[in-house]
Amino acid sequence: MKRRIHFGFVTLLVYSLVSYFCLCSAFYLPGLAPVSFCEDGKGGEDCQTVIQLFVNRLDSVESVLPYEYDVFDFCKDAKESRPSENLGQVLFGERIESSPYKVSFKQDVKCEAVCTKNYKKGNPEDVTKLDFLKMGMQLNYQHHWIIDNMPVTWCYDVEDGQKYCNPGFPIGCLVTSDGRAKDACVINSEFNKKNTFYVFNHVDIKITYHSGASEGWRGARLVAATLEPKSIKHTDEKKTSCEGGTPMEVPGEFNEDLSIIYTYSVTFEENNSIKWASRWDYILVSMPHTNIQWFSIMNSLVIVLFLSGMVAMIMLRTLHKDIARYNQVDQADLIKLPSTKEKSSIPYEDAQEESGWKQVHGDVFRPPRKGMLLSVFLGQGTQIFIMTFITLFLACLGFLSPANRGALMTCAVVLWVLLGTPAGYVSARLYKTFGGEKWKTNVLLTALLCPGIVFADFFLMNLILWVEGSSAAIPFGTLVAILALWFGISVPLTFVGAYFGFKKPAIEQPVRTNQIPRQIPEQSFFTKPIPGIVMGGILPFGCIFIQLFFILNSIWSHQMYYMFGFLFLVFIILLITCSEATVLLCYFHLCAEDYHWWWRSFLTSGFTAVYLFVYAVHYFFSKLQIIGAASTILYFGYTMIMVLIFFLFTGTIGFFACFWFVNKIYSVVKVD
């Protein structure tokens, strides 16, 4: 029966992964309907003629602070409108609004002027606006434009003849006072004047569409949108020319009046070889991460096989040998040894000495110190584990892809709120097993402690964003909504789960606990608590650190993350690795007659979060170019939230694996 269940689980896992890759090639996002476009005069309800170009927030790899489009002195839409944003978009700081760039299907535009921005030398307001624009160019802030729910990309050649498509393009660039061209200034040899900014005030937009003439549907569907930013100095808004010309220079010293004319061009191209379902492929192909991901998976599998071999050796050889020897001694007692004196002469004592884990059977289930706190951590960890599993599973099916903006965060928050019941149940059941009686305190801590720490950290980070005027600052109304979800839904559900948890009897232990605690012998260096805990997190972290690099890139370097199939597979490997590493160390500690395994099992796998923090520090100093005190505080503030969540998640995995293991071995051998 167990083999059938195990085989069924593996079959389901393989089927899910295969289905994921099949869905990726057939349907990019289930439930997202394509939009058709027709020429002017041929439109209707099922075919639009105007292509909306939206602008999103601007961000930079050199700063954690994103800003809304309107904060910079760019051209603005006369009738500004904002599409509805979900909770995830608001939490991520996305601020989408309409743009002044007007596009109609199959109507080419050549060097159309949008607006002119004038800056007077003696006007303090103009000086402030221009200084902020210079700051954006100096820190390499990037535009993010959207057409038909697709990013407008800037594709350019990189090393080895490959092409990279960036879902953003810079405001401009800077040539420093020592003549060094920074960022995008390296693409044009004309950007060579010292201490000068070059603003990209012109864009050539190319929209590629797939015609439905031979497909059986009306109109056309957009399959790609690319642009090329340029810096062109225009002298007259009514007579603009975008062919050649000198770059639009913004001097480092504001010594004279300045005018910047923003223009754009649009061309359309038909390409029926690109299907609408695969229109994101040209962006994803330019990110050659697949080989590295497979290397990461193979590296993780080697670690899992090593740990599985060690655990199998313990279960099949050591424990089997102990159990067989114990049973042999029992039979010898009954058949050959009628007297008590003779009993003591058989190799039973040797068997006991060789099996230190059996000698602590009367203390192994002794309630731990700080059992209240441990049960609270395990309840929250269970909530996070279930939330993570369901979120990643839905992401593998394509529902939480990059095209569905903010869906990942929205799904995670909603699931966390709705999973208060299992958190309360697990916490209450374990607390009752530990012999606790303060059930009200247990429920309140389960519902408020860890979420309260996260919210306090998040609120402080939000205050910094608000002071800095960043678009990532969460509006007051959204904070109230989050509190309402927490106290109005999550907390009551936690109480419901705790009610059923306390109503159930305590978990039955396979052996009785002695009244007097056994003295723990002196431990070797490797079986002491701290060295064991530190060693326990190394292997689980080794399974995830490559995947962690891509996740941090997507968060802080604003790269697109789409490899949820790999992430789900690494998630499963992490579960196995944490479980096996904790079980292995737990067995060694029990053999050394140290029966304090409750907290140690939680901290052994939970210590992986410490390695996560160390890696985040290394990533900050080696990979990022972040400058400024506010950005640094924000980086480490958000990192601490990630570390706490990961600590609860991995610690819970290790605890329950060890809990199962200890119950299993002491129920098989009936020690008295």
Whether 557 contacts 624, CB under 8 Å:
yes
Distance, CA of 587 to CA of 584 (rounded, Å): 5
Instruction: State how far the alpha carbon of 229 is from the alpha carbons of 187, 241, 516, 606, in Å.
Output: 11, 15, 77, 47
Write down the pLDDT at residue 160: 66
Residue 293: what pLDDT? 63
Q: How far is CA 521 from CA 359, 395, 590, 594, in A?
A: 12, 50, 11, 8
| Residue-wise pLDDT tens digits, 310-329 | 777 766 666 666 666 656 65
Instruction: Tell me what pLDDT residue 425 has.
Output: 95
- Cα distance between residue 294 and residue 80, in whole Å: 46
What count of Cα atoms within 13 Å lies in the side-chain half-sphere of residue 226?
17
pLDDT of residue 2: 37
Percentage of the chain with pLDDT > 90? 32
**Sheet-wide strand order for 258-270:** 109-119, 258-270, 202-211, 220-230
pLDDT band at 357 (very low <50, low <70, confident <90, very high): confident
89 pLDDT above the threshold of 50:
yes
Q: How many CA atoms lie within 13 A of 313 on its CB side?
A: 8
242: CB partners within 8 A, 6+ apart? 110, 111, 202, 204, 230, 232, 263, 265
pLDDT at 653 over 90: yes
Local structure of residue 148 (DSSP, 8 states): T
Distance (Å, rounded) from C-alpha 331 to C-alpha 337? Answer: 9
The neighbouring-strand residues paired with 268 are 207
Cα radius of gyration rounded to whole Å, the chain: 31
How far CA 364 is from CA of 15, 367, 518, 603, in Å, comes to: 41, 9, 10, 17
How many whole angstroms separate alpha carbon 579 and alpha carbon 584? 9
d(CA 453, CA 97): 33
Whether the pLDDT of residue 333 is over 60: the answer is: no
Winning range, highest mean pLDDT, from 62-66, 577-581, 607-611? 607-611
Work out the angle at residue 244's Cα, subtended by the Cα atoms of residues 240 and 245, and round it to the nearest 5 degrees. 70
Indicate the pTM of the whole model: 0.83
Specify the pLDDT at position 286.
60
Query: For residues 264 and 230, what is the distance between their CA atoms, to the nearest angstrom?
Result: 10
DSSP symbols for 510-535: SSPPPSSPPPPPPPPGGGSHHHHHHH
On whether the CB atoms of residues 532 and 590 are closer than 8 A, the answer is: no
Higher-pLDDT residue of 346, 67: 67
**Span 83-89, average pLDDT:** 80
pLDDT, tens digit, for every residue of 164-194?
Answer: 788 889 999 998 888 888 888 888 878 888 8
For residues 432-458, average pLDDT: 92
- CA-to-CA distance for 656 and 663, rounded, in angstroms? 10
Q: Which residue, 449, 483, 458, is CA-closest to 377?
A: 449
Give residue 344's pLDDT band: very low, low, confident or very high (50, 70, 90).
Answer: very low
Taking the C-alpha atoms of residue 645 and residue 389, their distance in angstroms, rounded to an integer, is 14
What does the angle CA 272 – CA 273 – CA 279 come to, to the nearest 5 degrees? 95
Higher pLDDT: 157 or 533? It is: 533
Give the position of tokens 């996305």: 94
| CA–CA separation, 363 and 289 (whole Å) | 50
Element (H, E) at 239: none
Percent of the chain with pLDDT over 70: 86
Cα separation of 632 and 523, whole Å? 42
**Does 3 have pLDDT greater than 50?**
no
In the predicted model, what is the mean pLDDT of the chain?
82
CA distance 191 to 170: 15
SS3 488: helix
Q: What is the pLDDT of residues 369-387, one digit of tens each?
A: 889 999 999 999 999 999 9
